[in-house]
Amino acid sequence: MDAIAADSAAQWRAEAKFAGLVARAKSGALDLMLLKPTTYMNLSGEAVGRLMRYFNVELGDLTVVSDDADLPIGRLRVRADGSAGGHRGLQSIIDCMGGGAFARVRVGVGRPERREGGLVGYVLGRLEPEAEKVLREVEAEAAKAALCVARRGVDAAMNSFNRFNLTITNNAEGGEAAEGTARDAVVAPQAQGTGLDPK
């Protein structure tokens, strides 16, 4: 989400009423609301729900970007809807919004080979340098995928990005995950207008 905000020189602001950091970004003719919840990850739906209700955003205009431990580092997966797949942040959003009919862009972070600290410690820890480099590239592609959903629709994004796959050459995947990868981020249309134009 930082890449989307930076491209339009949008500034992140702490918004207590949305329990998160919010930026208003432009991408071509699209007005976007970006949200990074500052709640605990398993309460992300509270922040998303507040923003969606305040700006009267339709559920179908929501795209959630999240980490996914079931995808290896270097992989990206776009889905039109579905279950949380065990992701507590996604489950919170589904619960608060009353359903899972929203697009999601899943960024692979893999699972640790060593269980010290468990999955939470792994996701909030640090990566080996090569794995961190790969993850940064995947995050840049995730931003492009989220924008593709907004501009052209989720089917076009799935066709363009679901084959994306970078590999780690030094087997750093067993290292600890990069700091700050465990947050959900949301792309939604700004309140003005009639929503996102999928073209």
Its sign, for the CA torsion 140, 19, 197, 77, is positive
Is the separation of the CB atoms in 100 and 91 below 8 Å? no
d(CA 162, CA 17): 35
Closest among 168, 165, 77 to 131, alpha carbons compared: 168
d(CA 10, CA 126): 28
pLDDT in tens, 87-132: 989 999 999 999 999 999 999 887 766 656 555 555 556 667 777 7
Class for the domain spanning 2-189: alpha beta
If one compares 184 and 70, the residue with the highest pLDDT of the two is 70
d(CA 78, CA 127): 24
| Per-domain boundaries in the chain | 2-189
pLDDT in tens, 36-86: 999 988 999 999 999 999 999 999 999 999 988 888 888 999 999 989 888
d(CA 64, CA 136): 18
Q: Which two tokens stand for residue 35?
A: 């949200």
